[in-house]
Structure 1
């Protein structure tokens, strides 16, 4: 991974997934983005250069840690989901100090209007928080984006969502962007954005999109099919707290976790139907039985699955972590028949050998580990320990 030190940023190119280190002064001047792009400002998640609707460029920065507004990047699809800047009650959706939501509306309106309107859409640079040993303010560049995503309509890519805080309701935007197939943005091109004599048009995917509306998406399928323990477990403090809350709720009666695991799989994908939570004494290795719905509503096709739940120690409070091994996974595999698939949900993680054997042998098993559980709940708005406990108490009685 390429890492640029703080003192080189003014002349640095922007390379996909490269890290740009912040300073060490302990104040806002440590921000690396404002050193990469002069005049962009050193604070906030939404930054722009240019007056009025005619922006030279826009920067979207996210720490990926806001449980109420969970920004996300799917690198395999080249898709970025970003929440706007009206994150507290008391204001109209467009009445924000940095005018971020008003700008989002302008961007998406221009994208879906006649082709000439796209010409005012500037390049959008995506950065995420990436602390390093040198600075907690360091960032990673994730690419150049444009509004919308192939296959999504104008009613799907920018949505006003409702939230409630302290009994007060308010709206914020959920915006979906396409990350373009641009591996590097040269310093020359960045400088050209501020050139009064015109931009350098060499960034072809961006200018082709402005002309045609067709996006050359940066699709990067994973070369790795076996997730490590770190990749399967919580990444943030909030994710750790949520997983711990789930485990603590069921640890004394782990059999009760079976219904919760089935519900979590449903929360993950709306096409999941749970037909039965089986009794442990007679389930033959299956904690739940369900179907996955394919096709159109008028003529659905069903793929049957068996689900197993493992409420194992996640090792978050100094305890020894207990992984799901070959024995448990083999038990699920043995129950799957032709045209069926398996689902294993655990508060811990799948051990390397068990994970590897499943993927290498091509067994159709879906793994949802501890970190997945946390991220699924956060995405569905169950994004604090209090919210998790309220949800668990309402859905899953321990009596």
Structure 2
């Protein structure tokens, strides 16, 4: 089937030509959009009422602007197109103006009978082939207008000129297939009235109801490769942490606590134990559940292991050290720049021990998501 007739299937790859230039881009044939970067569009930009369709593509390879797809929550983080020192809305293709308008409309109390259809794509690394990530809408059910579109600061150049760009969050809807028939109706301005419109998208348009495409991991026991970064950019971040703390494991304990807080923001007080009296735990603290006067606090013990990502993982002996020290109604947190070895991971899962594993790859992902670029991560580590 040709690209012009194809349906869009989640995680399906759509390839173009192999000429080695911009003509390889499959999106013009697939959707009728241009072959520019970032937002591609049908209709007149940047107004919501005049845009019919937006195709948003990310290659996920820019360490300064770490776009990220969280398949478990169905959320997609996208950074805007102002990546040089200029006004936040002064971009040639008006991408940031489009972002602002999308999120303004998302939070408007007025119901809309029109909204541009947003289709997300990711680069595959092969020529200009793309993977369809899904049908998206701005924001998320749990996010307010202060959280889903945020202007962030960056510095660029030898003079560290400061400028702003947007960080936005989209929700991918539970729509496994976007039919060609609906795409054809979108092109003629009948996205809402089409008999082929996905129900999840229509429910969002009329009532801002979010139906995310949840895809939780089915593998409980992760192997070494699933716990360590594979890309050069991600490995550079992890190596930076190991180089900083490898010869000072006690300093890493403080960093490990803050890394755990990024994963679990409801961690309350957390006290690092003295190295000669830690009793097998590097830190102990409390984790808050609930809000207000009805909230409770659950105790936890944390173990930090700053191991070389290219060396050995955390084995049964180290894990047993943590498990043996867990008190009644406590849970454990293991933070390591390496990985949990296969036998230890198997025993942990089979015996259903209440321990959260934060491995090297987990650390890299949360730092990119919550802190930002490599330079920002360095600054954050230095501030601890």
Alignment TM-score > 0.5, same fold: yes
User: Residue 323 of structure 2 corresponds to which residue in structure 1?
Assistant: 333
Please give the secondary structure, in 2, of the residue aligned with 1:193: helix
Deviates more, 1:341-350 or 1:228-237: 228-237
1:298, 1:163 → 2: CA distance?
A: 40
- Report deviation, 1:73: 1.8
2:145, 2:177 → 1: CA distance?
A: 29
User: Residue 371 of structure 1 corresponds to which residue in structure 2?
Assistant: 361
- Report deviation, 1:382: 5.8
User: Residue 61 of structure 2 corresponds to which residue in structure 1?
Assistant: 65
Report if aligned partners of 1:86, 1:94 keep a CA contact under 8 Å in 2. Answer: yes
Segments of structure 1 that go 5 or more residues without pairing to the other structure are: 1-6, 316-320
User: Residue 124 of structure 2 corresponds to which residue in structure 1?
Assistant: 130
Residues 394, 123 of structure 1: CA spacing in aligned structure 2 closer, same or farther, 3 A cutoff? closer
Please give the secondary structure, in 1, of the residue aligned with 2:166: strand
Q: Deviations over 1:254-276 (max 9, x none)?
A: 34422222222123333224532
Report if aligned partners of 1:162, 1:169 keep a CA contact under 8 Å in 2. Answer: yes
Deviates more, 1:268-277 or 1:233-242: 268-277
Report if aligned partners of 2:65, 2:373 keep a CA contact under 8 Å in 1. Answer: no
Among 138, 146, 159, the residue aligned to 2:137: 146
Please give the secondary structure, in 1, of the residue aligned with 2:211: coil
Residues 222, 34 of structure 1: CA spacing in aligned structure 2 closer, same or farther, 3 A cutoff? same
RMSD of aligned Cα (Å):
2.4
Q: Deviations over 1:52-83 (max 9, x none)?
A: 42111101111223333222222222222222
Residues 180, 294 of structure 1: CA spacing in aligned structure 2 closer, same or farther, 3 A cutoff? same
Please give the secondary structure, in 2, of the residue aligned with 1:59: strand
User: Residue 4 of structure 2 corresponds to which residue in structure 1?
Assistant: 10
Among 213, 216, 220, the residue aligned to 2:215: 220
Please give the secondary structure, in 2, of the residue aligned with 1:47: strand
- Report deviation, 1:159: 2.0
Please give the secondary structure, in 2, of the residue aligned with 1:88: coil
- Report deviation, 1:359: 2.3
Q: Deviations over 1:270-304 (max 9, x none)?
A: 32245322223221111111222232256642221
1:76, 1:292 → 2: CA distance?
A: 22
User: Residue 160 of structure 1 corresponds to which residue in structure 2?
Assistant: 151
1:121, 1:349 → 2: CA distance?
A: 45
Q: Deviations over 1:150-177 (max 9, x none)?
A: 1322333222222333432222222222
1:244, 1:363 → 2: CA distance?
A: 29
Among 283, 294, 314, the residue aligned to 1:324: 314
Segments of structure 2 that go 5 or more residues without pairing to the other structure are: none
Report if aligned partners of 1:115, 1:213 keep a CA contact under 8 Å in 2. Answer: no
What is the correspondence of 1:286-301 to structure 2 with a 5 Å cutoff?
286-296=281-291, 300-301=295-296
Asked if 1:282 corresponds to 2:273, the answer is no
1:330, 1:21 → 2: CA distance?
A: 49
What is the correspondence of 1:255-266 to structure 2 with a 5 Å cutoff?
255-266=250-261
Please give the secondary structure, in 1, of the residue aligned with 2:132: strand
Please give the secondary structure, in 1, of the residue aligned with 2:175: coil
